[in-house]
Amino acid sequence: MHSLWYTGIDVSRSILDVALRDAGSRHARKAKFDNTADGHRKLIRWLTKRGHQVRVVLESTGIYSLDVSLALHEAKGVEVMVLNPQAARKFADAQMQRSSTDATMALALREFCARMEFRPWEPPAPGRRLLRDLSRRIAALTAEKTRELNRLHATDACEISSEEVRKDLTLHIKYLRQRIEALEQSALELIRKTPDLEQAHARLVSACGIADTSAIQLLGELLVLPPDMSARQWVAHCGLDVRIVDSGTSVHKTPRISKKGNAHVRRALYMPALVASQHQPNVRAFYEQLLDAGKTRMQAIVAVMRKLLHSIYGMLKTNTDFDGAKFRALPQTASA
């Protein structure tokens, strides 16, 4: 029977720092590999050349960790767990890890693999991964379009600005709009030909404020999450969980959202929450209740975003449309 070896991998854009040891802590090794397809093959050969069963823990770092996670998942004799970076950091802190380098994080992840519950990672379906790629590209181009629009506005406000620069900005903005529209059409076509994506899309657009653009962004991020995550874990993953700092009699900071999570989801939820707060009766009642309680408008919108994410979780899990009454019941009017 082959022995079990524990591995931690710190993933960066170009390098994989690897720490490996056996279950008895008798043998430990370290190595570095390129974060490329060839580097992944070399890593797998290095991990499995002794015929041991290998468990690997690495952090979820978006596009940098996805390819290596897929390669490890498909390798014979290797199990992989993809860990939330916040959990990894807290574990390293609990181990009194004073230094914070790629090598020391690989060691911390190795010890997490050895000591904590191991939950094997299941990769998202290819269609869901493609939708995330499309949604992130759309988001990147949209951000660039906004920057170019700001530059054009600044150019128009300056009397001595170059006409050639103004024309170039206008052409680039037009090009970006065309690319965004083309990518959105590709995403919608993917959704239409993929039954589970089409079903999830139909649920999302049933909510006031969520149209195709927001639905593409939200589905691209939410459908690649592990299926066993809870609604509260979704909220924490997206950085919408409330961070309370309260210590003794003198430290009482204003609660704020952690923002330690998926910023793509937060951006995608903002406009739907804003629209629903104005035009959906139940959401508006919730929003106004928060304002009456002394919350600022931004605090109220963030609360709506968090509650809307809970609603989306329930809609997708139960395959039901948005129900305003479940978001917040409206007060009963007195009968005549």
What pLDDT is attached to residue 236? 83
pLDDT bracket for residue 1 (50, 70, 90): very low
Instruction: Give pLDDT tens digits for 244-269.
Output: 444 444 444 466 666 667 889 999 99
| Separation between Cα atoms, residue 162 and residue 167, nearest integer Å | 9
pLDDT the model gives residue 250 = 46
Q: Average pLDDT over the chain, rounded to whole?
A: 88
pLDDT tens string 31-69? 999 999 999 999 999 999 888 899 999 987 766 788 899
d(CA 258, CA 241): 6
pLDDT at 336 over 70: no
Residues written for the chain: 336
At residue 237, the pLDDT reads 80
* β-strands 242-243, 256-257 pairing: antiparallel
Instruction: Say how far apart CA 160 and CA 156 lie, in whole Å.
Output: 9
- Summarised one tens digit per residue, pLDDT across range 154-205 is 998 887 778 899 999 999 999 999 999 999 999 999 999 999 999 999 999 9
Tally the C-alpha atoms within 13 A of residue 105's C-alpha that lie toward its C-beta.
Answer: 18
Predicted local confidence at residue 325, as pLDDT: 93
Backbone angles phi, psi at 78, to 5 degrees: -125, 130
Of the candidates 213, 62, 224, which has an alpha carbon nearest to the alpha carbon of residue 138? 213
Three-class DSSP labels, 14-28: CEEEEEEEECCCCCE
d(CA 73, CA 56) in angstroms, rounded, equals: 10
Alpha helices in 194-335 (DSSP H): 195-204, 212-222, 231-237, 263-279, 281-292, 297-318, 324-327
Question: Which has the minimum average pLDDT: 1-5, 102-106, 274-278?
Answer: 1-5
Alpha-helical runs (H) found in 49-125: 63-74, 85-94, 102-115
Highest mean pLDDT among 65-74, 100-109, 278-287: 278-287
Q: For residue 171, what is the enclosing H or E element?
A: helix 163-193
Residue 98 has a pLDDT of 61
Counting Cα atoms < 13 Å in the Cβ hemisphere of 31 gives 16
- Rounded CA separation 16/33 (Å): 5
Rounded alpha-carbon distances, angstroms, from residue 159 to 147, 155, 166? 20, 8, 12
Q: Which two tokens stand for residue 248?
A: 């003794």
Give the pairing type, strands 4-11 and 53-59: parallel
Residue 238: the pLDDT is: 84
CA geometry: angle 146, 151, 157, nearest 5 deg: 125
Rounded Cα–Cα distance for residues 158 and 183 (Å): 34
Q: What span, in angstroms and rounded, lies between the C-alpha atoms of 55 and 67?
A: 17
Tokens of 15: 């390098």
Residue 254 pLDDT? 60
For residue 261, what are its two tokens? 């999570």
Contacts for 305 with CB less than 8 Å, ≥ 6 apart: 240, 266, 269, 270, 273
pLDDT in tens, 85-137: 777 888 888 877 666 677 888 999 999 999 999 999 888 899 999 999 999 99
Identify the helix (H) or strand (E) that includes residue 5.
Answer: strand 4-11
Q: Given this model, what pLDDT does residue 330 score?
A: 87
| Geometric angle at alpha carbon 149, from 146 and 154, rounded to 5° | 130
pLDDT of residue 227: 78
Q: What is the pLDDT of residues 25-37, one digit of tens each?
A: 777 899 999 999 9
Cα dihedral 64→17→107→21 (10° resolution):
120
* Contact of 16 with 35, CB cutoff 8 Å: yes
b vs e for 261-293, b when ≥16 Cβ sit within 10 Å of the residue's Cβ?
bbebbbebbeebbbbbbeebebbbbbbeebeee
